[in-house]
Amino acid sequence: MEFRQLGRTNYKVSVIGFGGIPIQRLEEKEAIELIKTAQGEGINFIDTARGYANSEVLIGKAMEGMRDSWIIATKSLARDDQGMKADIEISLKNLRSNTIDLYQLHQVKSKEVYDQVMGPNGAYGALKEAQLEGKIKKIGITSHDLGVLEMAIETDFFSTIQFPYNIVERHGEKLFQRAKERNIGVIIMKPLAGGAIREGELALRFIVENPNISVVIPGIDHMDQVFENSRIGQEKIPLNKEERQHLEKLQKELGNTFCRRCGYCLPCPQEIDIPAQFLLEGYYTRYDLQDWAVERYQGQSIKASDCIKCGKCEPRCPYDLPIRHMLEQVGSCFK
């Protein structure tokens, strides 16, 4: 397995990690077996979150007797210090650990949210306090908003960033280069574009070719994925000409209806968080997380079904996506 330095941390992480979101739909025994097998295949970085149902709990049970073999990352949507303090304690209990290697501010989706979590009584303060107490070791930040992470990497607040990257979503490449210059670790989420990319091997090989990437975390819920993913991290086979042409063709095909979550379509007059609707649809249709996605979709005060088809979003989209039609599909999906 190839191991890379995770930014300014002292962690050497397997270039292929373990994305923990899909194990929530597995039986406990199956999830534990997957994680233990992944460790045996050389994978040593696992990512989860407070919001991933029982993912933390399953990981905690799997870690018994092998905690020192793993670098555990989790994250919280808490925006204030009290909420973050509570989530840290829950994570420690769930993960059955005295300390968490990397705790991340989760889905910081705008400058306003960034200012909130970093400001007085914000969630970042609770992370710093927990770090001083030894409850967490390093602090990171995740976002789908390029501008937020461009701000974050010019500070000394974070050891890592987490951002989507795949053959369709390549707008973060300059961000990753600058992060490496600043000695900040780069964690890649959505390597298969939320399940839209079916050629998993090619997609992962494309990502690990980028020297600015520290670790990529494909979601794992099947034993075959453990062996295939670990093999990619071990063999490091460059893409050939034909494979690159195939990926370029796939990129063009997906480009017609795939949301990159750049946010240029916003603000919506109805206050719909348009990119979030497509993200939830992906979890429902491609990740086989229907119950989890429905709960989050219904929990929104304003949903895709509230679209009045005014069309103001579409001229702003740099990819010319048929957003109104796509929102209508999301609404139908969650009826």
What phi and psi, each to the nearest 5 degrees, are found at residue 5?
A: -70, 130
In the three-class reduction of DSSP (H, G, I as helix; E, B as strand; rest coil), residue 90 is classed as: helix
Q: What separation in angstroms does the CA of 223 have from each of 6, 68, 114, 210, 219? A: 26, 22, 38, 26, 12
Q: State the first-to-last Cα distance of the chain, in angstroms, to the nearest integer.
A: 45
Q: Which of 99, 156, 155 is nearest to 131 (CA)?
A: 99
286 pLDDT band, cuts 50/70/90, is confident
| Residue range(s) in the chain whose domain bears CATH number 3.20.20.100 | 3-244
Check if the beta carbon of residue 186 is closer than 8 Å to that of residue 15.
no
Q: What is the spatial distance between Cα 160 and Cα 121, in angstroms, rounded to a whole number?
A: 22
Average pLDDT on 263-291 reads: 86
pLDDT digits (tens, 9 = 90+) for 55-102: 999 999 999 999 999 999 999 999 999 999 999 999 999 999 999 999
The b-or-e profile of 6-22 (16+ CB within 10 A means b, else e) is bbebebebbbbbbbbbb
pLDDT digits (tens, 9 = 90+) for 194-218: 777 878 899 999 999 999 999 999 9
Looking at domain 3-244, its CATH class is: alpha beta
pLDDT digits (tens, 9 = 90+) for 100-126: 999 999 999 889 999 999 999 999 999
Residue 83 exposure: Cα atoms within 13 Å on the Cβ side: 15
Residues in the chain: 335
Check if the beta carbon of residue 140 is closer than 8 Å to that of residue 103.
yes
Q: What is the spatial distance between Cα 77 and Cα 277, in angstroms, rounded to a whole number?
A: 17
Q: Which of 333, 332, 313 is nearest to 322 (CA)?
A: 313
Q: What is the spatial distance between Cα 259 and Cα 262, in angstroms, rounded to a whole number?
A: 8
At residue 317, the pLDDT reads 85
pLDDT digits (tens, 9 = 90+) for 15-71: 999 999 889 889 999 999 999 999 999 999 999 999 898 999 999 999 999 999 999
- pLDDT averaged over every residue in the chain: 92
Q: What share of the chain is helix, strand, coil (3-state, %, to 5)?
A: 45, 15, 40
